[in-house]
Amino acid sequence: MSLPSQSSRNATRSSQVHYRRSSTSPLRKLIGLIVIIAIIVLVWFYFIRPSASKLTQESTGETNNGEIAADAQLQEREDSPVIIANSAGRPLPGAGNRPDASQEVRTAISEQDNSIDDMQSRARNSLPNTPAANPPSDSGSMDIFEAATERTNQPTRQEPARQARSNNSSSVGIQIDTARRLVAENNRVGARKLLSATLLEANTTHREAQSLRDELTAINQVLLFSAVADPNDSMTETYKIKSGDSLSRIAGRRELATHWKLIARVNQIADPAKIRLGQNIKLVRGPFHAIVHKSAHRLDVFHGSPGDPESWLFIKSFDVGLGSNDGTPTGEFTVSANKLENPGWVNPRNAREQYGPNDPANPIGEYWIGLTGVGQYSSLTSLGIHGTIDQDSIGGNQSMGCVRLAKGEIDVVYELLGEHVSRVLIVP
């Protein structure tokens, strides 16, 4: 039995403990937590939420009226340098090379490459499919000659504004690099089309034009002068030898507008009499034309339609000798039927000086290509392109007015130029 004093103290302590437990009940804790959450929600809703919404609009590029703000982004991409890589991974001349290119730049590179490839594809599709042409008429002949003369007489830009010269050089360099990439992709036809069009532009310098001719010569060494027949090249075709065929019959029947000896040359046929039945050979289809640049002592061979020199494709260049005292006239001519191998010759200035066929002392060599003047030049009938036994005269002015080519080169021009079809322009 407890003492009274003890009972009183225990009762008081028990009451105090009961009071403290009642003040921290779970219900009160839950109410307090709900109040705090409500205060946070109200503060976020009235003060923080508008700023977050605005930030979201800015990050998605939305303006106040809901439109996409893409102009600034597009301008930023356009102002960034685009790297155009060739097939070997090298940037083309004039293009930068940022080591940390973004995905947008890499996408732009791919799109630019596709654009160039599409351009080349369109160029290949527009390549004229030129059959043997009819003999050219006189109509429009002066336009052809004047166009070629105008290109020749264009200033060489040796002393233009430095910036203009630099820009043009960069442009030609890019074209050459693009053509080399096409060659690496086995697209020599597209490369030839691209470089020929660049060569015919009047504003190329002499050095740039020479670089273009060098590139084109290497391309044509495969496309035209080798036994390889590119299926995309309308200038060539394959043919299977049939019973009774000869190279001369094939050239005539297929209307190639070239000499049959060209077939033997490109197919490396040493003895034309020993072609085999069923043998596949490559044929080259003309017509081919020539432009003689007197100031450069150079003859350029082109391929294309006689009446459309702006679309001609460059083939090859040859050094020439010309007439003494500026005796080689300028003008437009066609190749006449007077094409001869091992011709005899009589000196027009001294009839006693005569040479028979196959005479090793014959000054005009082994080939003669007669020329007939067109239009106002129709009175020029005795001019011709021929060989020479004086190889040192090439590059000089020693003939009686005709155009001379060295041995080993006159025969190639002889085989390319066709009677009544090929045009020859002699320009200053």
Residue 102 binned pLDDT confidence (cut-offs 50, 70, 90):
very low
Which pLDDT band, with edges at 50, 70 and 90, does 144 fall under?
A: low
Could you tell me the pLDDT band of residue 90, with boundaries at 50, 70 and 90? Answer: very low
| Residue count of the chain | 428
Domain positions in the chain are 137-152+288-428, 236-285
Q: What is the pLDDT of residues 228-237, one digit of tens each?
A: 999 999 999 9
Per-residue CA distances from 365 to 59, 323, 390, 395, 415 (Å): 82, 16, 9, 17, 15
**Spatial distance between the Cα atoms of 197 and 85, rounded to a whole number of angstroms:** 23
pLDDT confidence of residue 370: 96
Q: What is the largest CA-CA distance in the chain?
A: 173
Closest listed residue to residue 134, CA positions, set 388, 306, 265: 306
pLDDT tens readout for residues 33-83: 888 888 887 776 666 554 444 433 433 333 333 333 333 333 333 332 222
| CATH architecture of the domain covering 137-152+288-428 | Beta Barrel (2.40)
- What is the pLDDT confidence band of residue 15, given thresholds at 50, 70 and 90? very low
What 197-201 contacts at long range (C-beta under 8 Å, 24+ apart), as own/partner pairs, is 197/123, 198/172, 199/314, 200/151, 200/310, 200/312
Answer yes or no: is pLDDT of 168 > 60. Answer: no
What the block records as the tokens of 345 is 């010759």
Q: Kindly report the average pLDDT of the chain as a whole number.
A: 76
Q: Provide mean pLDDT across the span 18-24.
A: 46
Helix then strand then coil, in percent of the chain rounded to 5, is 45, 15, 40
CA–CA distance, 334 with 331 (Å, rounded to integer): 10
Is residue 245 pLDDT above 60, yes or no? Answer: yes
Q: Do 83 and 91 contact (CB within 8 A), yes or no?
A: yes
Q: HSE-up of 353 (CA within 13 Å, CB side)?
A: 8
Q: What is the pLDDT of residues 317-333, one digit of tens each?
A: 999 999 999 999 999 99
Q: Does CATH number 3.10.350.10 belong to domain 236-285?
A: yes
**pTM for the whole thing?**
0.65
pLDDT band, very low/low/confident/very high, at 390 (cuts 50, 70, 90): very high
Residue 369 near residue 413 (C-beta atoms within 8 A): yes
Region 366-384: mean pLDDT is: 92
DSSP code, position 45: I
Using pLDDT thresholds of 50, 70 and 90, give the confidence band for residue 242.
Answer: very high
